[in-house]
Structure 1
Amino acid sequence: MSAETAARGLETPGGLARPAPRISLFRTLRFRLILSVALVHVCLMGAFTWESVQEQSQSVREQLYNRGVSLSNLMVVASTNAVLAEDLAALAEVTERVHRQPDVRYGEIVDARGQVLASTEPRSIGRPVGAMVAASERFPLPGDDQLLDLREEVTVAGRRVGTVLLGLSTESLDAALRSTRNEGLLFILLALFIGSVAAWGLSLALTRHLHELTRAAGQISAGDFSVRVAPGARDESGVLARAFNAMAVSLERTARRARQEHEKRTEAERLACVGELSASIAHEIRNPLAAIINSVSLLDREDLEREDRGEVVDIINSETRRLQRTLNDFLDFARIREPQLAVVDLCPLVEEVARLVERDPQSQGRVRFRLRFLDGSCRAHIDADQMRQVLWNLMLNAVQAMSGGGEVTVRVECGDGRVQVSVVDAGCGMEEAFVGKVTKPFVTGRRSGTGLGLAIAQRVLMQHGSGLSIVSQPGVGTEVGFELGAVGAE
């Protein structure tokens, strides 16, 4: 990781700022706060309303019962003498007065024989009374019973001379209780609405600072260390905002120092690279240049034989080509361009390069290639020209490692979204300590090499998000491979 990327700290490996994760609505602090307040309101107001309805229901029922008992007692008092005298007119007047009272469904005065002397229903007068209630009913009434039946005996000197029956309707009572329950539900909903609005306002005040902090953190992760947030109120959110600003100042200071150190290190590395490159160029061209100079001085001699002159010319041509090859390698290493990515099938590309390497003068007649494509098609996003150069360098290295000839195996396989390419030779191999150095520029185990073949391949693969993996054993051979992201078949 570069110093600049390390300074940013919150960036992804690709250098892009990681977007803030989206939070589900049901996981947000605002939703949880509103839900909590709403549940508290529903539970508390529900319990309060239920208790109020129960108390009011008990009170109203008790009032209705007491009013019925009072009416029945008044009927007993008003009808005692009339029952003894069998004054039907007086008894009818008593029942008529009772009938005018609210909620009275029926009222009857029965003599000791069970004959109805007076009733709110004229058709019942003179008839035997039906089955009388054994005792006055009390709330709660069973089932759908909406009639409270009361009974009071008319006694004179301890002897029952008659009975007063009174029936009170509970319909108005039930209607009043239903109205009370509905009002209670409306009250609960109103309290729930008011509580939710209050909770929303509170959550908005609390989460507003969190949203500002999240936005500021996203800007910092994108590399903008100058962002600050308003401290806000003198509460916990204000303390958090001030701590965030202090962190941003520290990060900005650290990033500035990291950039300065990175610039210094980059300049030092550049100067070191220039020095190493200059020394390597001088070393690589010194010997062929000396050979050319010596050969030219020999050509100036008049006594040089014709055959010797031809050998000198051959030396000049050979060393000149060697110089040209060395300079071409240096130029290839120095000016690797940005890859132009496209979806390419690696199998035909590997086959093409293998056939070219087989026809190369260094391998012709000595080395043959065995291609193993474990899948029919292995497609990846690559720069075809650059990947052709990588494959050429790897295969040519394998050929040069097998001075006695033999077989080079090239495998291409797909799996788990990756494409694996491997070049395996049975050459001289490398020591373990040397394996870690071969991808560095100017490191080579051959006298005639520049040490840039694997270095160029490594740089190209790094631009493709990959790199070389090398496994080697002296006297056994070497396997060099790399991985690329696979692309599914269309």
Structure 2
Amino acid sequence: MSVPESGHPSIAPARTAKTTTGFTHTLRFRLMLSVALVHVVLMGVFVADAVQEQSDRIQAELYSRGRSLVALTAVASTNALLTEDLGALAEIIQRVKSQPDVVYCEILDSRGRVLGTTHPERLGKELPLLVAKPEQFPLAAGDHILDLQERIRIAGQTVGTVTLGLSTVRMDSALARTWREGLFFILAALIVGSAAAWALSLLTTRGLHNMMEAARKISRGDLDVRVPANSQDEAGMLAIAFNNMVASLKRASEDAAQEHERRTQAERLACVGEMSATIAHEIRNPLSAIINSVNLLGGDALNREERTQVISILNNESGRLSRILGDFLDFAKIRESEPTRADLKGLIEEIANMLYQDHRTGKHLHLTVSCAPDAQTAVFDRDQMRQVLWNLMLNALQSMPEGGELSVRTRRDGEKIMVSIADTGCGIAPQFLEKVTKPFVSSRKGGTGLGLAIVQRILVQHDTQLDIVSKQGAGTEVSFQLNGVS
């Protein structure tokens, strides 16, 4: 017997991506985020508006105080300027300098000569003004001094100029402090808003969470679960509707189970009746032949040659009757499978050797076994799989009474091991192709129709089934799959 081995490329098992729903994808998180953002935005707008209002007020107060101070300085220094009383001007300058936020102050006559100043190095000199023109808010970037001017007039004539500079540092510090306090309030609002959102989300989504847990239990078959309906709002109404739906589903499930039980019982009785009729039909012919043969053997009308023929008929029909009953018992007593990891290649070669030896005489049979290197072991019940392979390979050989080619192959497909048995026999008629795995259906004369039915029942216990492809006159290929991982 030729038993070649050929390698097949391994097909990687398909991986299924598992998606998990994190907390950030839940309705509770979205509700919390929405409420917290509303708090932050509203508090931010409030703080920005408050800071802007305070800034405008402080700037207006500083500007008004500066204008009043420079105007008072101009009035107080008029006489001293006309008499060029430097001592009086110096006293005025010192009084102005002692005022809050004053950075500098100068008094110039009409010729531009500095007669009083907070900068001694400029005193008595004809110099340009410290600032070209008076300023207003807002100041330029980086500028922290508000520069003001006031002309000294007598009878409509300008006799001098007072310049004054006020520092905005204290104002800027107050505004910065206000901003810091505002940020603290924003942070506090975020914390309080998040806590309030968490509490609100718990109240809002508790009913939905209970229904989600109930739905999970229902998916596992528990139809006695109920959702508490403790509120009178939409969530409570939804819980009541959900409970009514589950109760209705339970009633429908119980009705369906009862109907299924009735149909199953009816089908079981029908099946028993059909099997009884089929068995009676299958047994009637050989039993009639046995009875007739026994009656003939009991008389004296047979000669020796006729008696030998009757005994041969008796033996053949009793053997046929025994096979029918044996197949029926095999079909009826299939036990539960006990799958373990086992050597599939060794089992196939063992059965192939047995069948090859049994059908070798007078046959032109070529039987090959090809097991891919990664498809030589699988998970199955060894005794039951022996019966499956024996029946399938025996059927293939019986379809080739004059010889032919029988090939058994295994290959890996992901986590599955594919097993196929192909022959070049007579094939199966189309009208029998979809029914050959049913009990007592056979396309072969003299067959009981239980062989493939037994195979199908065993394969169902291995979470698979028989797949048959056949072309009449060209051959048949049957295949099934086994688990490749334990």
What is the TM-score when the length of structure 2 is the normalising length?
A: 0.88
Is 2:52 the partner of 1:25? Answer: no
What SS does the aligned partner of 1:212 have? helix
RMSD: 2.7
Structure 2 counterpart of 1:110, one-letter code: L
Q: Look up the match of 1:469.
A: 467
- Seen in structure 2, the aligned counterparts of structure 1 residues 141 and 364 have a Cα distance that, compared at 3 Å, is farther
Q: Look up the match of 1:425.
A: 423
For 2:290 and 2:225, the matched residues in 1 are separated by 64
For 1:116 and 1:227, the matched residues in 2 are separated by 96
What SS does the aligned partner of 2:231 have? coil
For 1:143 and 1:429, the matched residues in 2 are separated by 97
| Residues 315-354 of structure 1: pairs in structure 2 closer than 5 A | 315-344=313-342, 346-354=344-352
| Residues 184-199 of structure 1: pairs in structure 2 closer than 5 A | 184-199=182-197
Shift of 1:333: 1.1
For the 8 Å contact 2:375–2:417, the answer to whether it is kept is no
Query: What percentage of residue pairs aligned between the two structures are identical?
Result: 54
Is 2:231 the partner of 1:233? Answer: yes
Q: Look up the match of 2:4.
A: none
> How many residues are aligned here?
469
- Seen in structure 2, the aligned counterparts of structure 1 residues 71 and 229 have a Cα distance that, compared at 3 Å, is same
Q: Look up the match of 1:283.
A: 281
Structure 2 counterpart of 1:426, one-letter code: T
Structure 2 counterpart of 1:271, one-letter code: L
| Residues 88-167 of structure 1: pairs in structure 2 closer than 5 A | 88-121=86-119, 124-129=122-127, 131-167=129-165
What SS does the aligned partner of 2:341 have? strand
Q: Look up the match of 1:80.
A: 78
Residue number among 371, 380, 400 corresponding to 2:378 in the alignment:
380
For 1:379 and 1:50, the matched residues in 2 are separated by 75
For 1:130 and 1:343, the matched residues in 2 are separated by 105
Is 2:446 the partner of 1:448? Answer: yes
For 1:239 and 1:22, the matched residues in 2 are separated by 30
Structure 2 counterpart of 1:148, one-letter code: L
For 1:139 and 1:161, the matched residues in 2 are separated by 28
**1:235-287 alpha-carbon deviations (Å, 9 max, x no partner):** 22122112111111111111111111111112122222222333333333334
Residue number among 269, 272, 282 corresponding to 1:271 in the alignment:
269
**1:455-476 alpha-carbon deviations (Å, 9 max, x no partner):** 0111111122221122223322
Residue number among 221, 224, 249 corresponding to 2:222 in the alignment:
224
Shift of 1:366: 4.7
Q: Look up the match of 1:254.
A: 252
Moved more, 69-78 or 132-141: 132-141
| Residues 33-72 of structure 1: pairs in structure 2 closer than 5 A | 33-72=31-70
For 2:301 and 2:437, the matched residues in 1 are separated by 49
What is the TM-score when the length of structure 1 is the normalising length?
A: 0.87
What SS does the aligned partner of 1:197 have? helix
Residue number among 398, 401, 405 corresponding to 2:399 in the alignment:
401
Structure 2 counterpart of 1:107, one-letter code: C
For 2:130 and 2:160, the matched residues in 1 are separated by 12
For 2:54 and 2:97, the matched residues in 1 are separated by 26
Structure 2 counterpart of 1:481, one-letter code: S
Structure 2 counterpart of 1:98, one-letter code: V
Shift of 1:296: 4.6
Which residues of structure 1 form unaligned runs of 5+? 1-19
For 2:328 and 2:382, the matched residues in 1 are separated by 21
Shift of 1:87: 2.1
Structure 2 counterpart of 1:38, one-letter code: A
- Seen in structure 2, the aligned counterparts of structure 1 residues 332 and 363 have a Cα distance that, compared at 3 Å, is farther
For 2:348 and 2:284, the matched residues in 1 are separated by 36
Shift of 1:300: 5.0
Shift of 1:442: 1.0
Shift of 1:295: 4.5
For 2:220 and 2:147, the matched residues in 1 are separated by 83
For 2:374 and 2:225, the matched residues in 1 are separated by 53
**1:176-196 alpha-carbon deviations (Å, 9 max, x no partner):** 110111122222222222222
For the 8 Å contact 2:297–2:310, the answer to whether it is kept is yes
For 2:332 and 2:362, the matched residues in 1 are separated by 30
Q: Look up the match of 2:456.
A: 458
For 2:362 and 2:252, the matched residues in 1 are separated by 58
What SS does the aligned partner of 2:329 have? helix
For the 8 Å contact 2:375–2:410, the answer to whether it is kept is no
Shift of 1:346: 3.5
Q: Look up the match of 1:11.
A: none
For the 8 Å contact 1:148–1:169, the answer to whether it is kept is yes
Structure 1 counterpart of 2:63, one-letter code: Y
For the 8 Å contact 2:348–2:389, the answer to whether it is kept is yes
- Seen in structure 2, the aligned counterparts of structure 1 residues 393 and 84 have a Cα distance that, compared at 3 Å, is same
- Seen in structure 2, the aligned counterparts of structure 1 residues 364 and 157 have a Cα distance that, compared at 3 Å, is farther
Shift of 1:367: 3.1
What SS does the aligned partner of 1:359 have? helix
What SS does the aligned partner of 2:77 have? helix
What SS does the aligned partner of 1:174 have? helix
Moved more, 200-209 or 407-416: 407-416
